[in-house]
Structure 1
């Protein structure tokens, strides 16, 4: 199995985990932006950690791969909503 497939499987698993934890989410784009920005911020913090830089705040964002998967899964959740809304028009 190639790496792309493995990564996409991890993203799919995270999407399922999000749905179990939060239910099917539907938000306005401002709320989605805040959620996505928070996830991206954790990616940035994890990258800083790998560069040996310290963050200004305490964080559990120490696993870059996991944070990237979370961010991708949120982006997909947004895309799902956009697709659903466009198909319902």
Structure 2
């Protein structure tokens, strides 16, 4: 079984797209990402994943909003990374056996 990706993650077009989207989000919404609580970030992420799901459903059924699957997932990934950075900045520590 192969364990190494064909293209290293740091060199992938996907990661470049996510970083560009994060910069666009900072420009649009401001770079102070601590104005939202983690629960608000989760709602934003859920919305972005929902947009992807809608595009996928339209793709499967040939609906009017069937385009933009990749860009919708890039948006979701950028928000997810914003959430990870929030956790790191605010020193929200994970504990063993905490569910």
Q: TM-score range by the shorter chain?
A: 0.7 to 0.9
Query: Structure 1 residue 72 and structure 2 residue 72: aligned?
Result: no
- Larger of the two Rg values belongs to structure: 2
Unaligned runs of 5+ in 2: 1-5, 93-99
1:71 and 1:77, CA in 2 relative to 1: closer, same or farther beyond 3 A? same
1:8-52 deviations in Å (ceiling 9; x for gaps): 000000000000110122211221111011001001001101111
Write the distance in 1 (CA, Å) between the matches of 2:91 and 2:39.
Answer: 18
Structure 1 residue 3, shift from structure 2 partner: 8.5
Structure 1 residue 65, shift from structure 2 partner: 0.4
Equivalent pairs, count: 83
Taking structure 2 as the reference length, what is the TM-score of the superposition?
0.73
Unaligned runs of 5+ in 1: none
| Residue 52 (structure 1) aligns with | 61
Q: CA RMSD in A?
A: 2.4
4+ runs of 1 displaced by more than 4 Å? none
Q: More helix per residue: 1 or 2?
A: 1
